[in-house]
Amino acid sequence: MDFVWIVLDGEEKWTKPEGIGFIYRNLLGISRTKEGAFEIAKRKIDFLGAKERDRKEYDTVIVMNYKDRNYTITISKYNLDGASLFDINH
C-alpha cells in the first residue's frame, strides 16, 4: 500500500467574526483504510454531538461540515511515494 488517509479538523469559516481569524488544522489521526479514517472522524463527532450538514466526496478528499457549528473534518488520501495535495497545501 502506497498511501494512507489523513483525518484533519478545523473551522469551516475561519475569518472573523465566525472564526478565530486564522486557518488551523488539527490532526485527528491516520489510517491505512478509508473506513478506518471514517471511524476516527466518527469518534470526534460522537464526542462533540454534532450532526452532519453536508458532505463533498471526491477520489482523494472527503469534506464534511456540521450543523450548528463552525466545524469541518477533511479526510485526505496521502501518497507516500510522491507529492500529493496535502504536501502542496501544507
Q: What does the pLDDT look like over 23-70, one tens digit per residue?
A: 888 999 999 999 999 999 999 999 988 888 999 999 889 999 998 788
81 within some domain: no
Full strand arrangement of the beta sheet holding 26-31: 26-31, 3-10, 72-79, 61-66, 52-57
**Quick check: 84 and 78 in contact, CB under 8 A?**
yes
82 within some domain: no
89 within some domain: no
One-letter identity of residue 11: E
Q: Could you tell me the residue range of the domain that residue 57 belongs to?
A: 1-24+34-73
83 within some domain: no
Looking at the structure of the chain, the number of domains it has is 1
> Residue 22 — very low, low, confident or very high, per pLDDT cuts 50/70/90?
confident
79 within some domain: no
> Residue 85 — very low, low, confident or very high, per pLDDT cuts 50/70/90?
low
